[in-house]
Amino acid sequence: MEAPMAEDEIKRQVGSIVSRAKEALSEVREAVVRTSQIGKLKIDVALLRREQEKAFARLGAKVFEMVEDGELSLPEPLDPLVQAVRHLARQIAEEEAELAEVEGA
């Protein structure tokens, strides 16, 4: 009679082990899915931020163009930014002229 009880105990233990393994696999699966979702969302946010930066750059370029053409005047606190852009434009022109000289030589 002891054999069937031992067999029942083995079945119960195996069933318990299988149940715990299923739970562990389910937790791992959930963690993988969550990590994948987080990764995808981080990439999506980064791409949207990059697109936003490009839109800001286009907006700034258009505003600067309108200021230079006299179509728009900006509040005085923005003057340093306009001056910085003008200064950089002059530096770029100087460097491009020097590059043209060196390439032509």
Phi-psi region of 70 (alpha: psi -120 to 50; beta: other; left: phi over 0): left
List pLDDT tens digits, range 32-84. 999 999 999 999 999 999 999 999 999 999 999 999 999 999 999 999 999 99
Q: Band the pLDDT of 105: cuts 50, 70, 90.
A: confident
- Say if CB 77 and CB 68 are below 8 A apart: no
Closest CA relative to residue 65, chosen from 51, 41, 85:
85
- Supply the pTM of this predicted model: 0.66
What's the one-letter identity of residue 60? G
